[in-house]
Amino acid sequence: MIRTFATHRIRKQEELTGKLWTFSPLQGEHAGKQFQVPTPSCWENYPDFGLYRGEGSYTTQFMAGGNIRIVCKGVSHTATVLLDGQRIAEHYNAYTAFSAVVQDVPSGLHRLEIIADNRFSEKSALHVPNDYMSYGGVSRPVVWEQVGGSFVEYVHVTPYFKEGLWHARVETAVQNLSETEPVTLRITIADEILTFPAQTLPSGISVHTGELVFQDITPWSPETPVLYNVEVLLEKDGQTFDDLVDRFGFREISIEDKQILLNGNPLHIRGLCRHEDHPQFGCALPFAAMASDLALIKHMGANSVRTVHYPNDEIFLDLCDEQGILVWEENHARGLSLEQMQNPNFERQAEQVIREMVQCHYNHPSIYIWGILNECASDTEYGRECYRQQFDLLRSLDRTRPCSFASCKSKSDICFDLPDVVSHNIYPLWYHDTPPRECLDDLYSWIQNESGGKGKPFLITEIGAGGIYGCRSTYATKWSEEYQAHALQEQIKAILSYPDCTGVYLWQFCDIRISEEGWYGRPRTMNNKGIVDEYRRPKLCYEIVKKLFETL
Ligand code: ADA
């Protein structure tokens, strides 16, 4: 399952994951041995591989012939893909999808091998030892598709409301491998059809754009998350030979008077930061686990998720679209120092994540904002240049959503003039003892008067405190559930009653595993600030969060 709905009615698509593959580690004491493992998965969840850092080969076989397209939704964190022993793709980064087309494959049985590598090195600027785990494995689904001489690569829909009617600007790309005959392109949304007359396609990618107007539309909102299909068809000699179906919602995001508006209504964010992490599945959560995370998030009274600190599995975004949960989606980067940002691979790798994230997730109505570079060196000139470049790139790819970054640099930040929304992570009552209200006053008055961020919407993108599940204390000592509940209560109350604050994201939904490589010396080698623990068992703070989110 790669989405929660069918993306093709015409094009043949078959999932290759969702069954056992052969796994073989390339280094370490088990090098060369073979194991049957489920996919998608992380090898940290196989017996004997809980701490393995290295390369792992995953193989499977499938029947195919002709032009085939292999789509990998995510391999952690560097992938080499081979078909019948021939290298067909390389990809860096666990959290974005990639694909490869192989033409004229002889009909019969074929062997697909994906070598995943989760090692840290100079080559990897974004996956570094960190306060979350970089797992190894084929961590998201893989499919193969049968394509002809040309096929639909993507479709992006931009809805907008004008003169009392909803409109949609549509952009679709067709990849021409070998088509010489004229092709007709037809795009349908809510019974309205846009037809591009038969044309001979140039070789490679061609982009086609058009507009549609609608009479009777139900807009998407958190309360009424109504979704529409966009269907692109390719036809030749009166026959449809390829298609692509995606979903979107009619909604516009704008900024006015320090507020973020969805179809004109101000958003009040009560959100949770969520890592893709589970003790049994690593970052490869199956559908039911994702859906049950979302059920808990909703039950807690939250209306938004921040996908810390990377683009999420698209199935999770589909669920958010369907259930009206707003999403802050961010590119991959957490807490990189100036030296780490100066890694010669950093800018290229970060920009690639941005391109792939926006390309793939453009249509999700739940995504109301893009975030970049959480807590990186936004207090340095070099860092500022990276932030500037990445915001420019984001805006060149998507003008319809605001963008932001979560800072921790307080009054030394020199980048608040760059984003549309000013966002800050604060930890009063955890990393320092300043009362939350005082901390907010100090930060906000500086933002308004000195930072360059004056007049922009203001979000608190992290608050929290460590609480170890089951650690109870009469005196509410730090790390106890009592202390965590108390700290969150004070933090949430101060923020949600703060004028001019658009809302808050709690750090974090659940306890998560962090890198073993000497990072922070956190108890249990876990980040223990979850509202639920890693098994999703609620801590004392759960009911407090729920009450405050539902009433404030
Ligand atoms: C930061 C960071 C998170 C996490 C958190 C913490 O603000 O963005 O990834 O490390 O602090 O738990 O201290």
pLDDT digits (tens, 9 = 90+) for 351-372: 999 999 999 999 999 999 999 9
CA of 45 to the centre of ligand 1 (A): 24
Beta strands in 200-337 (DSSP E): 204-214, 228-236, 239-248, 253-256, 259-262, 265-266, 269-273, 304-307, 326-330
Substitution candidate for ligand 1 out of 462, 468, 484, 525 with most atoms within 8 A of CB: 462
What mean pLDDT do residues 337-351 have?
98
Q: Give the tokens for residue 358.
A: 């926006």
What mean pLDDT do residues 224-237 have?
98
Question: How far apart are alpha carbons 503 and 461 in whole angstroms?
Answer: 8
CA of 387 to the centre of ligand 1 (A): 19
Atom 12 of ligand 1, residue of closest alpha carbon = 527
Quick check: pTM over 0.75? yes
CB 514 within 8 A of CB 525: yes
CA of 48 to the centre of ligand 1 (A): 29
Q: Which atom of ligand 1 lies nearest, measured to the CA of 430?
A: 13
Residue 511's pLDDT is what?
98
CA angle 201, 203, 207 (to 5 degrees): 60
Beta strands in 163-214 (DSSP E): 165-176, 183-189, 192-199, 204-214
Tokens 């694909």 belong to 99
CB 329 within 8 A of CB 361: yes
Q: Which residues pair with 146 in a beta bridge?
A: 68
What mean pLDDT do residues 426-432 have?
98
Residue 341's pLDDT is what?
98
Residue 475's pLDDT is what?
96
Tokens 């966002």 belong to 423
Question: Above pLDDT 70, what percent of the chain?
Answer: 100
Question: How far apart are alpha carbons 173 and 296 in whole angstroms?
Answer: 38
pLDDT (tens digit per residue) in 265-319: 999 999 999 999 999 999 999 999 999 999 999 999 999 999 999 999 999 999 9
The amino acid present at 354, given as its one-letter code, is: I
CA of 175 to the centre of ligand 1 (A): 42
CB 147 within 8 A of CB 101: yes
Q: Is the pLDDT of residue 160 over 80?
A: yes
**Is beta strand 326-330 parallel, antiparallel or unpaired with respect to 367-371?**
parallel
Substitution candidate for ligand 1 out of 375, 461, 479, 488 with most atoms within 8 A of CB: 375
The amino acid present at 287, given as its one-letter code, is: F
How many helices and strands (H and E) does the chain possess? 8, 28
Q: How distant, in Å, are the alpha carbons of 23, 59, 138, 310, 349 from that of 37?
A: 6, 10, 11, 26, 30
Q: Is the pLDDT of residue 520 over 90?
A: no
Confidence tier at 518 by pLDDT (50, 70, 90): confident
Q: Is the pLDDT of residue 147 over 90?
A: yes
Atom 5 of ligand 1, residue of closest alpha carbon = 507
Substitution candidate for ligand 1 out of 423, 513, 527 with most atoms within 8 A of CB: 527
Backbone phi, psi, residue 21, to 5°:
-120, 170
The whole-chain average pLDDT of the chain stands at 98
Instruction: Answer whether the bond into residue 278 is a cis peptide, omega within 30°.
Output: no
Q: Is the pLDDT of residue 519 over 90?
A: no
pLDDT (tens digit per residue) in 98-122: 999 999 999 999 999 999 999 999 9
Confidence tier at 521 by pLDDT (50, 70, 90): confident
Substitution candidate for ligand 1 out of 126, 131, 277 with most atoms within 8 A of CB: 131
pLDDT (tens digit per residue) in 31-41: 999 999 999 99
Question: How far apart are alpha carbons 357 and 351 in whole angstroms?
Answer: 10
CA nearest 466: which of 536, 533, 537, 514? 533
Cα dihedral 319, 321, 325, 326 sign: positive
Residue 168's pLDDT is what?
98
Q: Which atom of ligand 1 lies nearest, measured to the CA of 131?
A: 10
Other beta carbons less than 10 A from residue 217's beta carbon: 18
Question: How far apart are alpha carbons 344 and 341 in whole angstroms?
Answer: 8
Ligand 1 pocket at CB < 6 A? 131, 334-335, 374-375, 408, 425, 462, 507, 527, 529
3-state secondary structure of 351: helix
Q: Which atom of ligand 1 lies nearest, measured to the CA of 408?
A: 7
3-state secondary structure of 45: helix
The length of the chain, given as a count of residues = 552
Question: How far apart are alpha carbons 450 and 169 in whole angstroms?
Answer: 39
CA of 248 to the centre of ligand 1 (A): 32
Confidence tier at 76 by pLDDT (50, 70, 90): very high
Residue 163's pLDDT is what?
97
